[in-house]
Chain A
């Protein structure tokens, strides 16, 4: 348990603060979900930033290498991130 925790960052992209630089650690999900992320060029190891978030459980806009993507809550919750110090 403790061992697993150490490798799994404590929060998801959905919970991340706006504007802070983040690094994707892991994307969880099946083939269908992975395809979405692969297509949009979002992979583990990428640096992303949350630009804005819609209210009422709406999507986030994230930026990665100058590309802006709106990502829904369900998908953002599958992305584990860590803050780049």
Chain B
């Protein structure tokens, strides 16, 4: 039996999903974590259920491709029961989606999640009254603590096969609206042209992309996706026509009057006529009329079932008073990120020094052991250097960074960063919402590029994706830390970070000039602070780390072994000779040419291969400080890794990806040349 989890962003759908299916879905403390749907099976009281975790949506009128993915899945009707997860502390707003879903007349269970948050806000909710008024089962839950989850799905299982008696109490609009809705529904039905509501896609998928766009999970890696649909979809018959005609009519009435072009001429005409009829009678656009009616119904409901008492736990407000303060907010922002940077650096350095020493010992021992077999030793040394690179150079920095990022995200601080940075982002032609993808870019470019799906305008999505890629991901940060930080000191590493920020800002500026901002701006939820749970933080870290461990690590060991062999046979000279014009122009040893090729596979490979290519893990003995800086700058900017390129192609298309890649390459060469010139003067 298939259950769809639906709710507004940050309402806790993924928490419910994870509790039943096991940890597959990312949860966090801001909306928009799930940008693609995730599927999985689990057991509830002996019953096997298939759950589908959808990206959060505020209403059935999507403002972003992530929301549109959810809407399409709901309307496809490939499910038996809807579970509407509602953040009880945001009840007034959340019920608007619930009322829209009720219009589907399909089996629906409301899971009233985050009851603890609601009572902290001083809200006392009369759940039986809510259930009675809505006419659907309502289950209280605190999913983060495991409460109410089983009860929710039990209620859903009971609704399998449809309603025993269909719920009553649908929102009734003003009589003249209802009359128009009825007429339109009749017209839709009578013409035998039950308008396919999904023909009204706000974000029409590019040809051939429908399936993929939705069917992979957010790791961005089809192989890692545990939930790609393999079995044929079961078409569940809800009724003769699903969604029902009244629902279709309502959806069409609320759609953008300028987008009727995608409908058949007759339907478009009927919709336009109905829209102008309502506007003429009520003096307001149809979408406002309908949405206001639902809003009013929600407020009535809210007044009826919620009693407000004094809120508890005021410390959060006080914390927000500081962290979102017009002055201190930025001071804390700088301090938090400086402290974060420093901690990652110190922990990483500690790990790197210790583990690297152990591997060097191992390599010298292997050398003695294998001295009669030079070919085997070349391969083994390569493989060992690769492994050393992964465990000694990448993981010591990557691990604390990812843990720290997960903590900041889970606590709810990243959303505050979005608020604080909105004004700054406008300077680069974006708004606060885009801060999240760009910040995620510091972790890994792939989820960052995918997170742009929460942004409304296509232009903004591209700009955000480009900037997210430009920001050094943790792999590039590793290169930066392990090369510049380790050999030249933390302040040089910080200087490159700052330079990167300036470049990001300039690039945004230039893009804003080429392609001006048109989006209406930011309207973003500010989630309450949560205490991060160790389990979620660790799992999230693992999710982000697994791509490195599963994909990069084997590639690294094999690549290093191959490189060892290539070097032993003297072939690297050919590749290096081909790249010599570039490397000599940048004043780098020609031996690094090969590492740049590997860097396109995975960014950290260029660092690891560097040790192999130069034949030493002490890079400073083979490269000058200026060369290390130039190399790092080039690697930081030149081209995103293959996985990122793939994600970019999917999100913004081939043409824009090619443009972005070219721009990055040119940028890297120019910056490295400039750095080389400047460093020659000062060093």
Question: With A43-B291, A57-B426, A70-B432 as given contacts, are A38 and B61 in contact (CB-CB < 8 Å)?
Answer: yes
Q: Is the beta-carbon distance between A73 and B521 smaller than 8 angstroms?
A: yes
Measured between alpha carbons, how far is A1 from B521 in the docked complex, in Å? Answer: 30
Q: Which of B298, B432, B521 has the most CB of A within 10 A?
A: B521
Stretch of B176-184, B320-328, B484-492, B639-647 with 4 or more beta carbons under 8 angstroms from chain A: B320-328
Q: Is the beta-carbon distance between B522 and A71 smaller than 8 angstroms?
A: yes
Contact of B287 among A31, A41, A73 (CB under 8 A): A31
Q: Is the beta-carbon distance between A31 and B526 smaller than 8 angstroms?
A: no
Does B579 sit within 8 A of A, measured CB to CB?
no
Q: Is the beta-carbon distance between B121 and A66 smaller than 8 angstroms?
A: yes
Contact of B523 among A31, A51, A71 (CB under 8 A): A71
Find chain A residues with CB under 8 A from B287 CB.
31, 34-35, 38
The 8 A CB mask of B410-430 against A (1 = contact, 0 = none) is 000001001110111010000
Question: With A67-B93, A68-B525 as given contacts, are A58 and B423 in contact (CB-CB < 8 Å)?
Answer: yes
Measured between alpha carbons, how far is A51 from B324 in the docked complex, in Å? Answer: 10
What does DSSP make chain B's interface, helix, strand, loop or mixed?
helix
Q: Is the beta-carbon distance between B526 and A72 smaller than 8 angstroms?
A: no
Does B63 sit within 8 A of A, measured CB to CB?
yes
Residue of A nearest to B288 (CB): A34
Does A56 sit within 8 A of B, measured CB to CB?
yes
Find chain B residues with CB under 8 A from A59 CB.
419, 422-423, 432, 522, 524
Does A52 sit within 8 A of B, measured CB to CB?
yes
The 8 A CB mask of A24-61 against B (1 = contact, 0 = none) is 00000101111111111111111000011111111101
Find chain A residues with CB under 8 A from B295 CB.
38, 41, 43, 46
Does A65 sit within 8 A of B, measured CB to CB?
yes
Closest CB in chain A relative to B436 CB, distance in Å: 12
Find chain A residues with CB under 8 A from B420 CB.
54, 58
Does B285 sit within 8 A of A, measured CB to CB?
yes
Question: With A59-B419, A72-B432 as given contacts, are A33 and B520 in contact (CB-CB < 8 Å)?
Answer: yes
Closest CB in chain A relative to B522 CB, distance in Å: 4
Q: Is the beta-carbon distance between A58 and B419 smaller than 8 angstroms?
A: yes
Q: Is the beta-carbon distance between B92 and A66 smaller than 8 angstroms?
A: yes
Contact of B324 among A61, A65, A72 (CB under 8 A): A61
Q: Is the beta-carbon distance between A39 and B123 smaller than 8 angstroms?
A: no
Measured between alpha carbons, how far is A67 from B63 in the docked complex, in Å? Answer: 20
Q: Is the beta-carbon distance between A38 and B59 smaller than 8 angstroms?
A: yes
Residue of B nearest to A56 (CB): B423
Find chain A residues with CB under 8 A from B522 CB.
59, 70-72, 75
Find chain B residues with CB under 8 A from A54 CB.
324, 326, 329, 419-420, 422-423
Question: With A35-B61, A69-B523, A73-B521 as given contacts, are A52 and B325 in contact (CB-CB < 8 Å)?
Answer: yes
Closest CB in chain B relative to A6 CB, distance in Å: 17
Find chain A residues with CB under 8 A from B93 CB.
40-41, 65, 67
Closest CB in chain A relative to B439 CB, distance in Å: 15
Q: Is the beta-carbon distance between B292 and A44 smaller than 8 angstroms?
A: yes
Does B196 sit within 8 A of A, measured CB to CB?
no
Does B116 sit within 8 A of A, measured CB to CB?
no
Q: Pull 19 A–B residue pairs with CB atoms less than 8 Å apart, ordered by A.
A: A34-B287, A35-B287, A39-B523, A41-B92, A41-B295, A44-B292, A46-B295, A52-B326, A54-B326, A56-B423, A58-B422, A58-B423, A61-B324, A61-B526, A65-B93, A70-B522, A71-B521, A72-B426, A72-B431
Chain B positions near chain A (C-beta within 8 angstroms): 58-59, 61, 63, 89-93, 96, 121, 123, 256-258, 285, 287-288, 291-292, 295, 298-299, 302, 320-321, 324-327, 329, 415, 418-420, 422-424, 426, 431-432, 456, 520-526, 528
Chain A positions near chain B (C-beta within 8 angstroms): 29, 31-46, 51-59, 61, 64-75
Q: Which 8 A-B residue pairings sit nearest by Cβ, starting from the closest?
A: A41-B93, A58-B423, A72-B521, A39-B58, A74-B521, A65-B92, A72-B522, A38-B291
